[in-house]
Amino acid sequence: MQSIQNYINGELVSPVNQNYLDNFEPATGKIYSKIPESDSDDLELAVIAAESAKSEWANMPAEQRSNLLMKLADAIETASEELARAEAIDNGKPIAFARAVDSYRSAANIRFFANAATQFSSECHDMGSVGVNFTLRQPIGVVACISPWNLPLYLFTWKIAPALACGNVVIAKPSEVTPMTAYIFSRLCIEAGIPKGVINILHGSGPAIGSPLVNHPKIKAVSFTGGSATGRAIASQIAPMLKKFSLELGGKNPTLVFADSCKDQASFDNTVSEVARAAFSNQGQICLCGSRIYVERSVYERFKTALVKKVRALRIGDPLVEETQHGALVSKAHYEKVYSYIELAKEEGGTVLTGGNKRTPEGRCSGGYFIEPTVIEGLSSECRVNQEEIFGPVCTIQPFDSEEEAVTKANGTEYGLATSVWSSNVSRCHRLSSQLDFGIVWINCWLLRDLRTPFGGMKSSGMGREGGLEAMRFFTEPKNVCIKY
Ligand code: NAD
């Protein structure tokens, strides 16, 4: 059975303690590889490697750093099919999705920040005849990048790329639930000629290696994506150490459908398709998925019927089959958690319109963690199912009567990551953009990404932003230089 290895000082190595965790294939429920359960001993080796690589990487001309990152992006593109297949096996997502989203965007992340390395600039504040201030933006040093399991390599590279582009060295920890593409990525770093120690990848669980990593005194900044509870725990540990940190956390994202978005059949069909895509892409396991659907009452019944029809038509099955649109949930624990929310929805008075069941495909996937895409109606906005993040293929649908009611319902959870609004009324769209308390407001679209934009959430959905200049600013220390004439 394959054993994943850590990547330290440019080499693939076994964990010092020789402890390994089991890695499951979610579509079959079977163990298919071993993953290092790294600890502080491995961390010390990674810190030594990063410290010794720090100065040369920080002082390398930006163009040279950029060229190395471009080679890494090329290597990801060359390995894109291998990566897509590995992601589908490790995570349970359909291979077509892994190809179009995960491997494609991982290369795009690296390429985008490779360009940013040579385009980034800082401010100058002219004081006229008195003098001038300028801002030096210098790398922070050794930084930690910690990522979750839902878009494994995509979110891993979304952090590592800007950190490296700014001249930092990285110790990264992928999710222990989906380690395989980070392992392949280690090999690609070697192939691309990334200097030793510039990036180090440690595998293992949060308690064994995540917590020691963020707490290590040599780690100067932490970029974290994961659940809100984990984010809070990390913040409470490292805020007193005065480390810089950025937290991208959970969501409970609303989708608002106004009747004027359904004026003709083509726009109605498009809205239904996109709302279904927003709810169920990646089995609903995207932090940005729209899991609370609010529809203006005058089109509610028609919209609901069309949505249910659309969702029922999704092809569920083996993630490695090209035609599959809905794969397995990532782990047994997550599968049981998601299913428990379907049972809770029934207790809370909800009616399952479609789905609601565990599914056992025949053959190879009979032991897999499949749940049908599920739409539930009849729940109040205040119930737990509409307040807590489920992070699976479960959405609720409710009617609303006025714009004010829609905004109140949309804003009525502790989360504030993303929302999408479907309307042809331009004034309304502008009004709602300012009234909705979310880091990302999509108007007549969902998950339309431009890597230059600030990415992240408000309220319990996070602190700080990633993307474009926000990421470049996070991963640099601004130093004001004041010169008196
Ligand atoms: P998680 O919080 O359980 O784990 C995330 C990562 O943190 C993993 O690598 C884990 O090993 C590590 N970790 C756990 N405890 C740690 C600790 N004490 N110290 C350091 N690291 C620790 O989250 P998950 O279940 O992997 O991911 C799902 C969550 O991520 C959902 O809530 C989802 O909304 C969120 N998410 C947010 C975004 C975003 O951009 N806002 C994107 C994707 C996922």
Q: pLDDT for 347-358, tens place per residue?
A: 999 999 999 999
Quickly list DSSP for 380-412.
Answer: -TTSHHHHS---SSEEEEEEESSHHHHHHHHH-
Residues of the chain with CATH 3.40.309.10: 253-452
**Which of 193, 191, 150, 198 minimizes the C-alpha distance to 174?**
150
- The class of domain 253-452 in CATH terms is alpha beta
Query: Looking at the domain 2-249+461-484, which fold is it?
Result: Aldehyde Dehydrogenase; Chain A, domain 1 (3.40.605)
259 CA distance to ligand 1 centroid (A)? 37
Q: Is 287 designated active site?
A: yes
Q: State whether the beta carbon of 230 lies less than 6 angstroms from ligand 1.
A: yes
Q: What is the pLDDT of residue 325?
A: 98
Concatenating the DSSP letter of every residue in 28-62 gives TTEEEEEEE---HHHHHHHHHHHHHHHHHHHHS-H
Percentage, residues of the chain above pLDDT 70: 100
Indicate whether residue 250 lines ligand 1 (CB < 6 A): yes
Please tell me the distance from the alpha carbon of residue 115 to that of residue 99, in angstroms, as a whole number: 23
Q: How many angstroms separate the alpha carbon of residue 286 from the centre of ligand 1?
A: 12
Q: What is the pLDDT of residues 21-50, one digit of tens each?
A: 999 999 999 999 999 999 999 999 999 999
Choice among 25, 87, 248, 470 that is catalytic: 248
Q: Which of 79, 4, 66, 13 is nearest to 41 (CA)?
A: 13
3-state DSSP: the chain helix, strand, coil percent, rounded to 5? 45, 25, 35
Residue 362 banded pLDDT, cuts 50, 70, 90: confident
Inform me whether the pLDDT recorded for 445 exceeds 90: yes
Q: What is the C-alpha separation between 422 and 418, in angstroms, rounded?
A: 14
145 bridge partner residues: 172, 223
From the alpha carbon of 334, which atom of ligand 1 is closest? 25
360 — pLDDT class (breaks 50, 70, 90): confident
User: Does 275 have pLDDT greater than 90?
Assistant: yes
The rounded Å distance from CA 53 to ligand 1 centre is 28
Could you tell me if 213 and 144 are in contact, meaning their C-beta atoms sit under 8 angstroms apart? Answer: yes
Q: What is the mean pLDDT of the chain?
A: 98
Rounded to the nearest whole angstrom, what is the distance from the C-alpha of residue 230 to the centroid of ligand 1? 6
Q: Where in the chain is the domain with CATH 3.40.605.10?
A: 2-249+461-484
392 ligand 1 Cβ < 6 A: no
Residue owning the nearest CA to atom 15 of ligand 1 = 206
Atom of ligand 1 nearest to the CA of 417: 41
User: Which 3 state secondary structure label does DSSP give 358?
Assistant: strand
- pLDDT of residue 327 exceeding 90, the answer is yes
SS3 15: coil
156 pocket-lining for ligand 1 (C-beta < 6 Å): no
Distance CA 354, CA 351 (A): 9
pLDDT higher than threshold 90 for residue 422: yes
